[in-house]
Amino acid sequence: TNVDIGAPTIFDKIIAKEIPSSIVYEDDKVLAFRDISPQAPIHILVIPKSRDGLTQLGRAEQRHEEILGHLLYAAKIVAEKEGIVDGFRVVINSGPTACQSVYHLHLHVLGGRQMKWPPG
């Protein structure tokens, strides 16, 4: 399926700036932009600029370790920039059972309201 070959997704167009997004942080390896359908007052997606086969966390390989760490640290930088560093949530949906919809690995950074647990 598309999911397993790592076909291009809408996020490639966002990275290429072919479609607009509200970018909140960017470096050479990652891009962070506001989710188009926010589930909290602050809802930002952090993605690797190069997918390198990293469609979902459940397909990660050892070569992805460095970018995975970089993404997580970028999530913290984003939280700091957005003023939510003292309370925020990071979510990765991996696979259909977890409701992943875009098969280009991404971290959701959510905050600005009281979160509930369990998420359901």
Where along the sequence are the contacts to ligand 5GP (CB under 6 A)? 10, 21, 33-37, 45, 93, 99-102
Closer residue to ligand 5GP in complex, CB, 62/99: 99
Q: CA-CA distances (angstroms) from residue 50 to 26, 67, 103?
A: 13, 9, 13
Euclidean distance between CA atoms 4 and 62, whole angstroms: 17
Please indicate whether residue 106 is annotated as part of the active site: yes
CB of 71 vs ligand 5GP, minimal distance in Å: 14
CB of 74 vs ligand 5GP, minimal distance in Å: 16
The partner residues of 31 in beta bridges, in order of sequence, read: 26, 47
